[in-house]
């Protein structure tokens, strides 16, 4: 139990000598953003994900056989825009990847621009959502999440990929002492699961009971906080900012 609690503490409030510096809590914040935007996209944009591409591929399969409520065009648009965002994120990583602070600041700054566009479009939209607005939102949100995913991949903080939880949940069980593993790092992994769940709950609550713009607005604010934090630490020359070879 003490190890479990220590993992949670080190993830949320890492020590000064932490191998990954302030990155773990920032990645948790971006995991929360994933829950927010995916709850918005699935509930508002017509059964499509903008961050979870595994789910999107499955939804595309549903659409291809004519299942009602699923759109081939929406799924393809989401996958293509996510790929474009990942390309942008990958390019940023190739240029700034040797300094984690500068990489995070630059990529999240661009992500904030995409999220701001999404907030404006959602705020101006009417109910039911016109097709034009719908596809603009799919594209800008999926591009933003593609950038985020590529950045998280480059930063390589264990168990904090920000958009994918399948391996995280697998690791909780498969790496446990019960399974004969060396330890599942359940504290950090459960923090990631809880962050995405919280984002999904908050996002769905606002979509159903308030205005659709609020999940995106919260996602924008959280990402802006990450940008501000990264802006402060990007000048650091601490060990954590240097990418591992």
**Per-residue pLDDT, 29:** 97
Tokens encoding 42: 């699935």
DSSP code per residue over 109-169: HHHHHHHHHHHHHHHH--SSPPHHHHHHHHHHHHHHHHHHHHHHHHHT-TT--SS--HHHH
Q: Hey, what domains does the chain have and what are their CATH numbers?
A: 2-10+22-232 (1.20.1250)
Give me the helix-helix angle, 186-209 and 23-44, nearest 10°.
40
Is the pLDDT at 96 greater than 60? The verdict is yes
**Per-residue pLDDT, 181:** 67
Report the range of poorest mean pLDDT among 25-29, 64-68, 165-169, 236-240.
Answer: 236-240
Q: Using pLDDT thresholds of 50, 70 and 90, give the confidence band for residue 1.
A: low
**Per-residue pLDDT, 244:** 64
Task: Give the C-alpha separation, 183 to 178, whole Å.
Answer: 9
Is the pLDDT at 185 greater than 80? The verdict is no
Is the pLDDT at 67 greater than 90? The verdict is yes
**Per-residue pLDDT, 235:** 78
Q: Using pLDDT thresholds of 50, 70 and 90, give the confidence band for residue 245.
A: very low
For the chain, the average pLDDT equals: 91
Report the range of poorest mean pLDDT among 14-18, 56-60, 92-96, 131-135.
Answer: 14-18
pTM (global) more than 0.75: yes
Q: Decide: residue 76, CB within 10 A, 0-12 exposed, 13-18 middle, 19+ buried.
A: middle
Hey, how many other C-beta atoms are within 10 angstroms of the C-beta on 178? 9
Task: Give the C-alpha separation, 118 to 138, whole Å.
Answer: 9
Q: Using pLDDT thresholds of 50, 70 and 90, give the confidence band for residue 40.
A: very high
């Amino acid at each position: 139990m003490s190890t479990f609690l220590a993992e949670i503490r080190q993830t949320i409030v890492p020590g000064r000598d932490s191998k990954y510096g302030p990155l773990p809590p920032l990645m948790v914040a971006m995991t929360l953003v994933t829950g927010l935007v995916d709850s918005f996209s699935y509930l508002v944009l017509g059964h499509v994900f903008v961050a979870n591409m595994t789910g999107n591929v499955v939804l595309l399969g549903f659409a291809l056989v004519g299942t009602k409520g699923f759109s081939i065009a929406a799924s393809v648009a989401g996958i293509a825009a996510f790929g474009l965002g990942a390309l942008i994120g990958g390019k940023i990583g190739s240029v700034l990847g040797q300094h984690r602070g500068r990489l995070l600041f630059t990529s999240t700054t661009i992500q904030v621009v995409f999220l701001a566009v999404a907030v404006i479009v959602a705020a101006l939209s009417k109910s039911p959502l016109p097709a034009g607005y719908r596809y603009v939102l799919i594209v800008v949100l999926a591009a933003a999440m593609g950038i985020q995913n590529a950045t998280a991949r480059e930063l390589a903080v264990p168990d904090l990929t920000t958009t994918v939880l399948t391996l995280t949940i697998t690791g909780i069980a498969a790496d446990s002492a019960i399974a004969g593993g060396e330890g599942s790092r359940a504290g950090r992994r459960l923090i990631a699961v809880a962050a995405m769940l919280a984002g999904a709950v908050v996002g769905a609550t606002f979509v159903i009971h308030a205005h659709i713009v609020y999940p995106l607005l919260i996602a924008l604010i959280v990402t802006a906080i990450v940008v501000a934090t990264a802006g402060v630490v990007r000048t650091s020359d601490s060990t954590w900012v240097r990418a591992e070879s």
